[in-house]
Amino acid sequence: MTQPAQGRASGRPLLSSPSATTVLVGLGAGLLCGAAAFRWPGSPVALAIPVLEPIGAIWLAALQMLTLPLMISMIIVSLGHAGTGQAGRLGAWTLFWFLAFLAVAAAVAVPVGQFVLTQFPLDEASRAAFRAIPASTAPLAAPVTASPTARDWFVNLVPANPVRAAAEGDLLPLIVATLVFGAALRSVTGRSREVLLDLAQGVADWCLALAGILFRVLPFAVFVLTLASTARSGMGTASALVYYVAWLSAILVAAILTLYPITAWLGRIPIARFASALWPVQVLAFSTRSSVACLPAMLDTARHRLGLPEDVVNVTLPFAVSAFKLNMAIDMFQLLFLLHVYGLYPDPAALGVAVAVLALQSFATPGLPSGAVWTTTPVFLALGIPIEGVVLTNAVDTIPDLFKTTANVTADLSIAAIVARRWRPGRPAG
């Protein structure tokens, strides 16, 4: 069978992206025009946004529409062509690196955040102004439910209704169901098995071909998405929120830059090569704020720019997009900032549990814009942080979320490179 990234007849890649320079031009133009529209609401650029914004929304929805069938079909193809034991070991090895990255990131992010808040503290006047904002001035938050227990979390990994899980964007249980289906496919023999694999391969090829069509207008889509978001959002007037946005963004940028030498060390990919290959995916992540929407581009980059093995690409990257969000460990600064502003000093054990829970929420957070908002709020409330503080910091999440998504896709490809370097069929290489 053909590989999903290749045309069946010609062997040419089904997915090709515009040059990074062209996409960057679209991003820069969107930022400049969006800033102008924010400054002059009655300008022609601002008046054109209601016409252009639906185009960007349609493009992003179409790209996200492809992700679920692409993810499912690629896992089925990968499991169908590999031994069940091998695929299971590869998934376990990938999960090990997910947990290792989350543990190290959380262990570093907490002291870094505390250092920032103590060495470059927010002035007392800004803290007082932030605390004085009544809850009635903040938008209503979504109903907060109790955090699931460990038992509930494991039970919910197996979806009773896969269709509902897909409709609600609950990707991890759906991936588990797909893994079960793919493993069961190994026991099917003869023509039936070939038909199922051909169908999955065809769906993957179709998704990548359609994604290639969408990527032809990527610079324009990036321009429209950036224009709309920049024109609508501002840094805000409160110095406390500006402080929060600036420092969280800086910490995320530092984390992204740290991933380059880590990949060079553990994945044996030179920094310059990794940066050059990753740049188009990072621009897309920065523009869409959705790691799910970046999956087709990540698959293309892993295959054709980094030259990673097909089995690692087909298992590790879909698994990473559905279950791994490095920003959940890095984004401890929001928790520490709110504790600092409200003068809350929880018991170290309680804080440690909260940090661990937030890091593990990586496996329950969808790869969509600001997808972590609904999974982290119960943890913040459990530590006594007022709901208005959570809502206000989430309200300015647009700018940090650009860097969060970029950090996530960078970590996804970094882990894929590390797994590819250290994985050997039959055993993980040390």
One digit per residue, the tens of pLDDT, for the chain of length 430 reads 333 344 443 344 445 556 657 777 887 888 788 888 878 888 888 888 888 888 877 877 777 677 678 777 877 776 665 544 455 677 778 888 999 999 999 999 999 999 999 999 888 877 876 776 544 444 433 444 444 555 565 666 677 777 776 666 565 577 667 777 777 776 777 788 888 888 888 887 888 788 778 878 878 887 887 787 677 654 333 577 789 989 999 999 999 999 999 999 999 999 999 999 999 999 989 888 888 888 888 999 999 999 999 888 888 888 888 778 898 888 889 999 999 988 888 878 778 877 887 777 666 555 444 445 545 666 777 778 877 677 667 767 778 888 999 999 999 999 999 999 876 554 444 4
Query: How far is residue 10's CA from residue 224's CA, in Å, rounded to a whole number?
Result: 34
Name the residue ranges covered by the structural domains of the chain: 66-76+83-185+235-428
Query: Among positive and negative, which fits the CA dihedral 147, 369, 333, 138?
Result: negative
Tokens of residue 175, six digits: 């991936």
Query: How far is residue 196's CA from residue 178's CA, in Å, rounded to a whole number?
Result: 13
Query: How far is residue 297's CA from residue 343's CA, in Å, rounded to a whole number?
Result: 44
Say which DSSP state 397 is in. T
Tokens of residue 79, six digits: 């499991």
Q: Is domain 66-76+83-185+235-428 classified as CATH 1.10.3860.10?
A: yes
Angle at 183 between CA 368 and CA 4, to 5 degrees: 60
Query: Is there a contact between 337 and 384 (Cβ–Cβ < 8 Å)?
Result: no
Query: How far is residue 23's CA from residue 16's CA, in Å, rounded to a whole number?
Result: 13
Tokens of residue 181, six digits: 């289906």
Query: How far is residue 423's CA from residue 12's CA, in Å, rounded to a whole number?
Result: 28
Q: What is the pTM of this model?
A: 0.65
Q: What pLDDT is stored for residue 379 in this prediction?
A: 73
Reduce the DSSP state of residue 327 to 3 states and report it: helix
Q: What pLDDT is stored for residue 4 in this prediction?
A: 37
CA 178 to chain centre: 20
Q: What pLDDT is stored for residue 276 in this prediction?
A: 93
Query: Is there a contact between 175 and 323 (Cβ–Cβ < 8 Å)?
Result: yes
Q: What are phi and psi of 187, to 5 degrees?
A: -90, -5
Identify which of 178, 367, 366, 387 has the alpha carbon closest to the alpha carbon of residue 290: 367
CA 281 to chain centre: 12
Identify which of 45, 78, 113 has the alpha carbon closest to the alpha carbon of residue 316: 78
CA distances from 63 to 5, 60, 220, 319 (A): 16, 5, 14, 18
Given the structure tokens 């992700």, which residue do they identify? Answer: 67
Query: Is there a contact between 395 and 203 (Cβ–Cβ < 8 Å)?
Result: no
Torsion angle, CA of 176/213/297/283, rounded to 10 degrees?
Answer: -130
Query: Is there a contact between 329 and 102 (Cβ–Cβ < 8 Å)?
Result: yes
Query: How far is residue 206's CA from residue 298's CA, in Å, rounded to a whole number?
Result: 17
Given the structure tokens 């990753």, which residue do they identify? Answer: 278
Q: What pLDDT is stored for residue 347 in this prediction?
A: 74
Tokens of residue 42, six digits: 């009655």
